[in-house]
Amino acid sequence: MPEDDLSAGEETHFGYARVPLAEKQTLVNSVFGNVAGRYDLMNDLMSGGMHRLWKRTFVGMIRPSRHLAFRHLDVAGGTGDIAFRLAVAGGPRTEVTVADISEEMLRVGRERAAHMPRGERVNFVTGNAEDLPFPDTSFDCYTIAFGIRNVPRIDRALAEARRVLKHGGRFLCLEFSDVDVPLLDRLYEAYSFTAIPALGKVIAGDGDAYRYLVESIRRFPHADRFRDMIAAAGLQRAGYQRLSGGIVAIHSAWKL
């Protein structure tokens, strides 16, 4: 989205800090640019490998046709983790496009594609979730995994998701959520604010980036509120399911 479209003087949150709205995307880009090379390794370490199970469940909900043409868009998926899984799950007419605003994350994804099964089916495109570079009604499915909470204006990203989906197309979002299990919520909170930044400093060389990521999780709307935001964007049959006691949730809706 062009900077001159951002409201002058308007602020938003960057983790727990307040920053000018026009600056948030630059700050987010810096975070992911700094950690791109170790991003997937950090996901394994932070979640104890659980992110692989969450993503397996997530991709299993998409069910691309193995015979018909199927166009899929994965937004904020620069390293290709979701896209490569979907390319293997789909048939020979499945086409997967990754759109990410971070050139560093896209570079990692392109490098990985050369060594991944069906990697040639995945295209990597520079794109802002708030202003996607694709025509209306282009895709059968839109996914975004652990990315939408970093978008400065989530409502615009949801509107763009609806715009680029075909009629009958599906929206799926995998995101951290609100833990709803007593005691687990306190343990998770303590782990998030102590162990994750420490791991980020040692493994990725940037503890501050992972402190921001933890804070961004806490700032993200609760599952019911986010479901309502999805519905307000014009996507229908919005709902969600929690995984791992609510650590993450998969949100689903349709363009009907």
CA distance 217 to 178: 9
Q: Are 13 and 219 in contact (CB under 8 A)?
A: yes
Question: Which strand (E) or helix (H) includes residue 31?
Answer: helix 21-35
Going edge to edge, which strands form the sheet with 70-75? 122-126, 94-100, 70-75, 139-145, 165-176, 248-254, 236-243
As a residue count, the chain comes to 256
CA distance 193 to 180: 18
Res 210: pLDDT: 77
pTM beyond cutoff 0.95: no
Q: What is the pLDDT along the chain (256 residues), one digit of tens a residue?
A: 334 455 556 877 677 767 788 777 876 777 677 677 777 777 788 788 889 999 999 999 998 888 889 999 999 998 999 999 999 999 999 999 999 999 999 999 999 999 999 999 999 999 999 999 999 999 999 999 999 999 999 999 999 999 999 999 999 999 999 888 888 888 878 878 788 878 777 777 777 777 887 888 888 999 999 999 999 999 999 999 999 999 999 999 999 9
- Three-state DSSP at 121 gives helix
CA distance 2 to 23: 12
- Helix orientation angle between 154-164 and 223-232, rounded to the nearest 10 degrees: 50
CA distance 223 to 251: 8
Res 7: pLDDT: 52
What are the tokens at 249? 């949730």
Res 3: pLDDT: 40
What are the tokens at 180? 């709803």
Pick the CATH number of 34-180+210-254 from 2.60.40.1180, 3.90.220.20, 3.40.50.150, 3.40.50.10260: 3.40.50.150
Query: E strands of the chain, at which residues?
Result: 11-14, 17-20, 70-75, 94-100, 122-126, 139-145, 165-176, 236-243, 248-254
Res 8: pLDDT: 53
What are the tokens at 233? 């964007």
Res 133: pLDDT: 97
Q: Are 92 and 163 in contact (CB under 8 A)?
A: no
From the list 127, 119, 133, the residue with the least C-alpha distance to 163 is: 133
Res 233: pLDDT: 98
Res 1: pLDDT: 38
